[in-house]
Amino acid sequence: MSDLDLPLSAPVIPNARDAVRALRASQIREVANAGFGVADVLPFWFGESDRVTPQFIRDAAAAALARGDTFYTHNLGIAPLRDALSRYVSALHGDTPAANIAVTSAGVNALMLAAQLVVGAGDRVVAVTPLWPNLVEIPKILGASVETVALGYGANGWALDLDRLLAALTPGTKLLMINSPNNPTGWVMTRAEQQAVLDHCRRHGIWIVADEVYERLYYGDTDARTAPSFLDLASRDERLICVNSFSKAWLMTGWRLGWMVAPRDLMDDLGKLVEYNTSCAPAFVQQAGIAAVEQGEPYTRRLVADLRASRDHLAAALSALPGVDVKAPHGAMYLFFSLPGAQKSLDLCKALVREAGLGLAPGSAFGPEGEGFVRWCYACDPARLDQGVERLASYLRQHAAR
């Protein structure tokens, strides 16, 4: 019997794989969708500044395009950008040869590549939460199971229970996914915590993927140019992959450019994975990346000073509202705070957008550990922050009166 003779059965519904269907959908999008039709929404829900990328970076991309820099590049990035990143990372964290650096299509692609390098079906991955969902969901796409260890919230804000994390990092665990400074909480891991985790993971052969895309957005120590990094402690050729991005320190979210620092011995295999994912980051975008790392230091320092001022401004304004518990963390660009009604944070955020024109991200978007909180991105004009606080104050007044 040929295939053509097979009886027709009921049409098969074209579903994606179970692991993909089980992925969490973005609750921030759900809130944004609830705001369709609301004319005037102040959007503090996404992790992005309201400022455009600095002119000198845009000029570098425009010049590259004008030169005709429109071709494929090496999988791991153009040599001048890898060299520039080598100088940049070495200045911040100690000797980091270009051979340990790969250019990626932004931080999220670096996270996917890092997971693809070391995680397979059935592997056990541990992640510290609340957390930007991608770090938890990416290993699941590859068939891994992810166990979460929750940060605790107390008088000093968010903190890690180190013993709980070490206990969760059992022998046989393949990978720890950790993000500091953290989105959404702003929590910053201390150097001592990093050392303890590194020692433990070395002992048990556990990989670490450290998401350090917010390392420059650090307010803990005014003399420090970055938050504590695993790169300060580890050698370049052990089981550590550090993920970074041009999105946050140089406001290049839409450009999709990032990098990772990884053991040299991984690079040939990483090149294959880049080939099958994206082949390379766009050539003219990589040229813009060179301008960012080589000329961007004064810009980044001003940006961090502005963000620190915005953080303080917003935290002071919010803490004056009744029922709001807010603490200014040492990193990233978010306040993750509790307020009346936030026990159902998704419902609250939908109501805020519909009734008050205020766009915040629900804490539950960052895992069940985030429930009870909302996230406010303060990377914007302080006048807009004030407008947002007024809207929140009036919403809380109306609901307290009901």
> Could you list the residues that contact ligand PLP (CB under 6 A)?
47, 106-108, 132, 179, 183, 211, 213, 245, 247, 253, 258
Closest CB 107 distance from ligand PLP, rounded Å: 3
DSSP codes, 309-363: HHHHHHHHHHHTSTT-B----SBTTEEEEB-TTGGGHHHHHHHIIIII-EE-EEG
Question: What crossing angle do the helices spanning 267-277 and 106-118 adopt, rounded to 10°?
Answer: 120
Q: How far is the CB of 221 from ligand PLP (least distance, A)?
A: 21
- Dist CA 317 CA 384 (whole Å): 12
Position of tokens 């990346």?
289
Burial (CB < 10 A; 0-12, 13-18, 19+), residue 108, is buried
Those residues whose C-beta lies under 8 Å from the C-beta of residue 14, and which sit 6 or more positions away, are none
Nearer to ligand PLP, 243 or 396 (CB): 243
Smallest separation, CB 87 to ligand PLP (Å): 21
Q: Which amino acid is at 347?
A: D
Question: What is the number of the residue whose Cβ is closest to ligand PLP?
Answer: 107
**Residue 346 vs 379, nearer CB to ligand PLP:** 379
Q: For ligand PLP, which is the closer residue by CB, 205 or 254?
A: 254
Burial 324-341 (b: 16+ CB within 10 A, else e): bebbbbbbbbbbbbbbeb
Minimum distance of ligand PLP from residue 324's CB (angstroms)? 23
Query: How far apart are alpha carbons 172 and 124 in whole angstroms?
Result: 8
48 versus 347: smaller Cβ distance to ligand PLP? 48
Nearer to ligand PLP, 349 or 389 (CB): 349
Min dist CB 159 to ligand PLP, Å, is 18
Q: Is 82 exposed, middle or buried (0-12, 13-18, 19+ CB in 10 A)?
A: buried
Task: Report in angstroms how near the CB of residue 57 gets to ligand PLP at its nearest.
Answer: 15
Provide, rounded to whole angstroms, the least separation between the CB of residue 101 and ligand PLP.
15
Nearer to ligand PLP by C-beta: 179 or 229?
179
Q: Give the CA dihedral 179, 185, 191, 194, nearest 10 degrees.
A: -40
Closest distance between ligand PLP and the C-beta of residue 277, in Å?
A: 13
Closest to ligand PLP by CB, 101 or 106 = 106
Q: Min. distance of Cβ 392 from ligand PLP in angstroms?
A: 23
Specify whether the CB–CB gap between 346 and 362 falls below 8 A.
Answer: yes
Measured distance CA(184)–CA(168) in Å, rounded: 22
Cβ-based nearer residue to ligand PLP, 86 or 183: 183
Q: Is the Cβ of residue 113 or residue 356 nearer to ligand PLP in the bound state?
A: 113
* Cross-strand partners of 148: 127
Backbone angles phi, psi at 381, to 5 degrees: -55, 125
Q: Smallest gap, in angstroms, from Cβ of residue 108 to ligand PLP? A: 4
DSSP state of 218: B
What gap in Å lies between CA 336 and CA 251, rounded to an integer?
21
Residue with smaller CB distance to ligand PLP, 107 or 359: 107
In order, the DSSP letters of 35-46 are TTT-S--EE--S
